[in-house]
Structures are given as C-alpha cells and as structure tokens.
Structure 1
Amino acid sequence: MRVLGIETSCDETGVAIYDGEKGLLGHQVHTQVAVHAEFGGVVPELASRDHVRKTLPLVEGVLRDSGLRKQDIDAVAYTCGPGLVGALLVGSAIGRSLAWAWGVPALGVHHMEGHLLAPMLEAEGPDFPFVALLVSGGHTQLVEVKGVGRYRMLGESLDDAAGEAFDKTAKLLGLPYPGGPELARLAEQGDPTRYRFPRPMTDRPGLDFSFSGLKTFALNTLHEAQHAAGEGGEASEQSKADIARAFEDAVVETLAIKCRRAVRESGAKTLVLAGGVSANQRLRARIQEIMEKEGGRAYYPRPEFCTDNGAMIAYAGWQRFSAGQHEPLLFGARPRWPMEELPAV
C-alpha cells in the first residue's frame, strides 16, 4: 500500500509517500520561516495562505521524485489536528479532495502520533512497548506506548511547552526567529558555571512539566546583567550566551530527570525522543547517557524528521490504513485533540 501524507498543522508544509514494502519513497518540506520572521512568530492567517500556495506543488513534486502517478496512490493521510485550525483545514480539504478525485480512502492523522512514530522511519526503529518524550513547539508530553493507538499519558506541560519556552527566551535575548535553534547555537558559547537556573517541578512526585517560570527567571537574570552594565547599559554578548547556556541546561536536565523517572516507574527499557526539540544535541546526549545507565536504549528520528514533515503523517496513516481504518467523506479539523482518544490498531 502506498500512502500520500500531507502535513499542514503550523508553519511547515510537508508531503511524502510511504510504501508498506519499500519504505519512504520521497518527501518534500517547505518551511515558512521567511514568511513569519519579520513578525517574530507564526501568523496563523499567513500560515494558512502559504499552505494553500504550496501543498499541491509539493504533491506534484513528490509524485515526480518518486516516479509515480496519481493512479499509483492507494490512500491519502492528512494532519487533522492538533494545530492551527486554518492551517489544518487547508491540508484536510486538499487531502480529502485528492482522495475523492482519485477514488481512494482518506484518513485524518493525529499530528503528535506522527511525531511519536517518526523514529520507525529509520532502518532500525524501536519495538513496542516504550515510553515516548514528545517535545515540540506546542507540546511536552511523556507517553507510555504499548502499540499504535494504545497510549497512556504519564505527564505533560501545565503551561509553556519546552519549545515555546525556548522560542520566548530567545526572543528576550534578541535572537532572530525561529528562536529555539538560535538559542542552542548561542548556548555553545556560554559558560555553564556562571548561572544556574532552577529545574522546575523535579523536587516533587509526578511527571508533569512547567517551563513558564524558567522564562521569567531568564528575564530577571537578563535585567540583572543589564543593570550591572550601568545606566542604560546592554547585557554583553557573553552574558547573553551564559544565560542561554543556563536556560538550555535547565530545560535539558528537567526533561532528563522526568524521563528517568518515567522509565523507572513504567519498567520500560526503551525511550523514544521525538518532536522539534528532540533535534537538540545536548538533550540527545543526556537522554542517551541516562538510558545507558538504566540498561535500556534511546531512539530518535534523524533531524529532518524531528520538525514537522509529511513522512511521519504518511507512515502513521499507513499504520492505520493497514489495520482497515478509514473515514467517511465528511471531514474537519481538530485543533485540540487528546491523543488518548485515538482508537487502537
């Protein structure tokens, strides 16, 4: 079965084709960084309009790159939620329309399930069961995974997700959009001993997260550095780098502490790390270290599949189509969609 996957949940347009026997046949991603950079963040209306312009050309491009025709597609999967409602409706409408025109089934896919399953696109992916840490711009979640659709939420962010905290702190430091990767690059120049930020909610039981306080702590630390520079002074570039390093260390260590707690409580020997923040090299190294000490193993997708992409949607769709799942012609978008509501495969 060949599945065309369409991802339009936020500010990347992704299209891919997954073959159940041959694997990923092709994928393309268009990023909207240039569209939103001057505003310092995603503008939903502009995101939706850009998806309208880019989705069909990407579909044509992936078919061409894969050496396929529309008649070779057996099913269409599209991101139905969660995400920006306007952006989701673009992908849903296009995906459902293509499926109707081609006479094939269609299915709305959960965006975070796509991220969760993305490591399985690799040649050596994880086996069920496992614990997954999903860290993206809008979500930070620890999930116990026993199979496709068999999910139990262990913990999640009560306010800002880790990716949001990265982006907002980067903006405080005057870094360009998108801020998360820029902050990580700046942190490479920072002194890890100058500042120490708190590790929120690690001194109490449970697996929930809270990162909004770290953003405030970073702001106060920046103000102290500016005050030390004198009247009307600006914090030095080194001070900003030191703040970035302290912030990144705090987020990474907080995530690591909760992951270690989750694998110990669940008894899992496999941890999956996925989502945009999972590309952070310091986080990967720390998780790898923890799982080695726990006698287990960590899995994560290659960097191009950490951020939003059509390949993960095509693969998640293939899993569900293979189990006989499909949906009626009526479609919609679910900007808020608990993953635990998904049916098991």
Structure 2
Amino acid sequence: MSENYILGIESSCDDTSVAVVSSDYHVLSVKTVSQTSVHRLFGGVIPEIASRNHLAWVIPAVNAALQDSGKTKDDISAIAVTNYPGLTGSLLIGVSAAKGLALGWKKPIIAVNHLNAHIASAFLEREKRPEFPYLALVVSGGHTSLIDISENERTVLGETMDDAAGEAFDKIAKMADLGYPGGPIIDKMAATGDAKKYNLPYLLKNNNKYADDIVFSFSGIKSAVKRFLDEGEVDMPSLMASFQNRIVELIERKVKLALSRKKYTAFVVSGGVSANSAVRKMAESTASKYGLALYMPELKYCQDNGAMVAAAAMPEFFKGNFSDLDFDVSPTVRPKIH
C-alpha cells in the first residue's frame, strides 16, 4: 500500500502550526510559529493580535513544512484543519488558508475538532493506537475534559464548570506576578517547594453534592491561593507546589471515578497541561494501578501543533469522510457541517 501524507493546519489560539504526517503517524515535519513573546507583554492572548499574526504566518508555515518534509503538494493526500473550538478570528485564518489550498491543489479537506486533535497527539510516532474503549483526559488552557472513546462514539463524561486547568495556572501566575505562560513557570517553581505547606480547599470534596459527579472546578483553589497572596509574604515555591498538587489531586480523583465505572483498555492524556511533571506522574501511576496502556504525547507535541491535526484526520481520511468546502468555524460548540 502506498504511503499517504496529510498536511495539518492548526490556528485555534495563538500558535500558527503546519505539519506533514504520514499514514503511519510519523511526523515528517512541523513548523510552528509561536506568539508567546508577543502576548506575554499583555499577560495573555489578545485575539485581534493573534489573528493578524496568523494571517502573516500561515502560508509561509505551509511552505516551510512542505520543504522540511521533502514532499511537494503533489505528494499530499489531504488537507486537515482545526475548525472548532477556539478563537473565532484565529480559526477563520487557518480554515480559509486550508480551503484555498484544497481548491488550488485539488485535494480533499477534513475539518478537525481541536480536542480530538489533542487526543491524537498521543499517537504520533507510536506504532499502535489504543484498543477500544479507552479513556481520554484532555487538559489544556481552554479545556479540562474526560472522554469515553469507543469505536463509533465519543462521549464526554465530564468537563470543567469554570476555569480550565491551564487557565487556572495562567491566572495564578498572573496574580503572583510570575510571568506568562504560567504552567511551565509554576511547574519549575513547585519542584523546590513543599506541596503540603498550604491547605487549599476546593469545591469537589467527598462530602458535597459533586462527589459522585465527573465534573471539574478549579475556581475554589484559585480563590484560596489568592487569599494567601493577599495576606502578604508567602513561601512562593511552596504555595505554587501546593496549588499544583491540589489541581492534580482533583483531576486524579475524577479520573479514578470514571475508571471505577467502566473497564478501559488504555488511558490517553493530552493537551498543553499534559507537559506538567505532576500530571505526567499522575498519569503513569494511574495507568499502572489500573493495568492500562498509557498514551501521552512527547513533550514537543503537548502544545498546539499541526501534526496533531493531521493525526486526528487520519482515520477520517481512510473512511473517506471528507468535509465540504462550506464548513464553518465555532468558538465553542460544533458548527454545522453541510
């Protein structure tokens, strides 16, 4: 069987990324243009700036990814692009570029759910995909979701009721004047702190109405950290270690709740926060305890990237499930695909 190659385009937030991935999930190239240094000046992503930069960088990124892969447009079997969820303006730039390429190159196009792309990032450079059913945890700046994945259906078991985990990291880092993005800064600082020094209460404890629900809530932990910061001098490494530990403890509690209700073959952990050292340790210990195959992306594929978009499109490509050119974008819910 001849090899197939998918060109993936990711522009859902502030990173412009294009990749070429083969049908065996091998990444031939990935070109990512990060805007972190730009948005750091504002303490967070500014949508208008993000969109303008995507517009300037997406086609050069396509050209660079093709050149680095050693392939030409004639070798590409399909175009894949994120169309939801994300920042509307950013999504529109990537989708418009992808549609133009599909028309110009006469290639099929596949619209991709950003969460599905994160899940697929765990399969890059892996010889095997997990057997069904498996449990997927997506933890990022915009999402904290547990998803039951069977062969023909994906069921969201639970999501956050307020902040996403990555959003909580960024907000706490901003409160503490630590910098942006907050996740890697807090992770590094927490390594030198005492995670048991500060008691940080949170909403989803055993004795309340949410104890048996697979839902996440990080606002209470965030408020508790803010109170300590407002009180004056703190042991910052220990406060950050306590915060990180509590976030991961809450996630672990809900993961184990899901695992107690159904038998799974594998545990897939992905999203930007899956790069966090405490999250990765939790994933490893949980998979070991429950006898699950563990799938996590390499650190370089945890953040938004075009390779994960191409990987998510691969099963649809082989099923012949292509998108019409009039599909839309959406910041949250799935848009209508005609």
Query: One fold, TM greater than 0.5?
Result: yes
Alignment match of 1:209 (pick from 212, 216, 223): 216
Q: Is the 1:263–1:269 Cα contact (8 Å) retained in structure 2?
A: no
The alpha-carbon deviation at position 123 of structure 1 amounts to 2.0
CA distance in 1, matches of 2:25, 2:299: 21
Q: Supply the AA of the counterpart residue of 1:327.
A: S
Is 2:225 the counterpart of 1:255? no
CA distance in 1, matches of 2:179, 2:224: 20
CA distance in 1, matches of 2:246, 2:334: 28
Q: Supply the AA of the counterpart residue of 2:148.
A: E
Is 2:103 the counterpart of 1:100? yes
Q: Is the 2:187–2:244 Cα contact (8 Å) retained in structure 1?
A: yes
Is 2:151 the counterpart of 1:139? no
Q: Supply the AA of the counterpart residue of 1:132.
A: A
CA distance in 1, matches of 2:259, 2:102: 41
CA displacement 1:60-117 (0-9 Å, x = unmatched): 1111111111122121111101000000000000000001001111121111100112
CA distance in 2, matches of 1:128, 1:27: 29
Q: Determine helix, strand or coil for the equivalent of 2:103.
A: helix
Q: Supply the AA of the counterpart residue of 1:334.
A: S
Alignment match of 1:220 (pick from 227, 238, 243): 227
Aligned pairs for 1:24-63 within 5 A: 24-63=27-66
Structure 1, unmatched stretches of 5+, are 227-234
Is 2:313 the counterpart of 1:317? yes
Q: Which residue of 2 aligns with 1:272?
A: 268
Aligned pairs for 1:321-340 within 5 A: 321-338=317-334
The Cα RMSD (Å) is: 1.7
Structure 2, unmatched stretches of 5+, are none
Q: Which residue of 2 aligns with 1:230?
A: none
Q: Determine helix, strand or coil for the equivalent of 1:5.
A: strand
Q: Determine helix, strand or coil for the equivalent of 1:137.
A: coil
Change (3 A) 1:129 1:122: farther
Alignment match of 2:174 (pick from 171, 174, 184): 171
Change (3 A) 1:269 1:330: closer
Q: Supply the AA of the counterpart residue of 1:46.
A: I
Q: Is the 2:202–2:220 Cα contact (8 Å) retained in structure 1?
A: no
Change (3 A) 1:328 1:290: closer
Q: Is the 1:263–1:271 Cα contact (8 Å) retained in structure 2?
A: no
Q: Is the 2:132–2:264 Cα contact (8 Å) retained in structure 1?
A: no
* Alignment length (residue pairs): 329
Change (3 A) 1:248 1:324: same
The alpha-carbon deviation at position 337 of structure 1 amounts to 2.4
Moved segments of 4+, more than 3 Å: none
CA distance in 2, matches of 1:78, 1:14: 10
Aligned pairs for 1:229-308 within 5 A: 235=233, 239-308=235-304
- Mean alpha-carbon deviation: is it higher for 80-89 or for 239-248? 239-248
Percentage of matched positions with identical amino acids: 39
CA distance in 2, matches of 1:51, 1:173: 30
TM-score (norm 2): 0.93
Q: Is the 2:84–2:334 Cα contact (8 Å) retained in structure 1?
A: no
Q: Supply the AA of the counterpart residue of 1:220.
A: R
Q: Is the 1:288–1:297 Cα contact (8 Å) retained in structure 2?
A: no
